[in-house]
């Protein structure tokens, strides 16, 4: 039961990130097209205009597949990256605490050890997310399900995705705070 809820949550967040990437890319494409649209309108003859618009229509379908393909498109690749990055930052609390304890007890900063302290918890904690979302392209099955959901569902999950992202950012900040607290480092901010 818990595993199914966890899997559903992660796939819904991943889906909303993909929708955001698609929307962002559509805005960029429309902006670019609005900038270049006066060129054929005012600078080309009617013969070349027709050819230009035919070519443009053909390229737009290819461009749509390039950006919006659910399996290998640019938007899904970017959504994969962002999902992995934000999910992985939740382990920063543990990593910063372990790093602070290592520095406090050894009194030195070893770059290799610091990297290992960050990599091991991140790698171990990423395994369940990978299995829930990416193994056997499980997200594609969920995408089909989520596309059938109504507007209310999409609105709720967009908010939850934003909360997920803000929680990831907060975990980094809290991890840094814990690290400085363990090391007894006094940080003076200019606004304080």
Q: pLDDT (tens digit, 9 = 90+) per residue, 58-79? A: 888 888 888 888 888 889 999 9
Range of weakest confidence among 37-51, 104-118, 167-181: 37-51
Q: Which helix (H) or strand (E) holds 30?
A: helix 2-36
pLDDT at 172 over 70: yes
Spatial contact of 68 and 75, defined as CB atoms under 8 Å apart: yes
- Grade residue 169 by pLDDT with cuts at 50, 70 and 90: very high
Structure tokens at 171: 């975990």
Cα 102 to chain center, whole Å? 31
Cα–Cα distance for residue pair 94/117, rounded to 1 Å: 9
For the residues 43-60, what does the mean pLDDT come to? 80
Q: What is the pLDDT of residues 79-130, one digit of tens each?
A: 999 999 999 999 989 999 999 999 888 888 788 988 999 999 999 999 999 9
The mean pLDDT value for 121-144 works out to 93
The domains of the chain are located at 2-22+69-182
In angstroms, what CA-CA distances link 172 with 90, 104, 116, 118, 168? 7, 20, 17, 12, 7
For the segment 158-175, the average pLDDT, to the nearest whole number, is 95
Q: How much is the pLDDT for 175?
A: 92
Q: Which residue, among 30, 26, 54, 29, has the nearest Cα to 40 in the 3D structure?
A: 54
Which pLDDT score, from 0 to 100, does residue 57 have? Answer: 80
């Amino acid at each position: 039961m818990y595993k199914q809820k966890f899997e559903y949550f992660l796939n819904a967040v991943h889906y909303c990130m993909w929708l955001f990437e698609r929307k962002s890319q559509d805005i960029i494409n429309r902006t670019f097209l609005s900038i270049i649209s006066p060129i054929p309108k005012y600078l080309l003859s009617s013969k070349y205009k027709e050819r230009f618009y035919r070519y443009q229509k053909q390229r737009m379908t290819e461009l749509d597949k390039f950006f919006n393909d659910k399996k290998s498109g640019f938007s899904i690749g970017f959504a994969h990256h962002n999902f992995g990055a934000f999910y992985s930052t939740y382990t920063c609390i543990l990593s910063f605490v372990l790093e602070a304890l290592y520095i406090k007890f050894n009194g030195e900063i070893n770059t290799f050890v610091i990297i290992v302290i960050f990599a091991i918890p991140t790698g171990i904690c990423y395994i369940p997310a990978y299995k829930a979302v990416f193994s056997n392209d499980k997200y594609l099955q969920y995408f089909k399900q989520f596309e059938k959901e109504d507007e209310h569902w999409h609105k709720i999950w967009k908010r939850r995705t934003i909360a997920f992202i803000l929680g990831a950012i907060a975990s980094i900040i809290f991890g840094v705070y814990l690290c400085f607290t363990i090391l007894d480092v006094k940080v003076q901010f200019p606004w304080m």
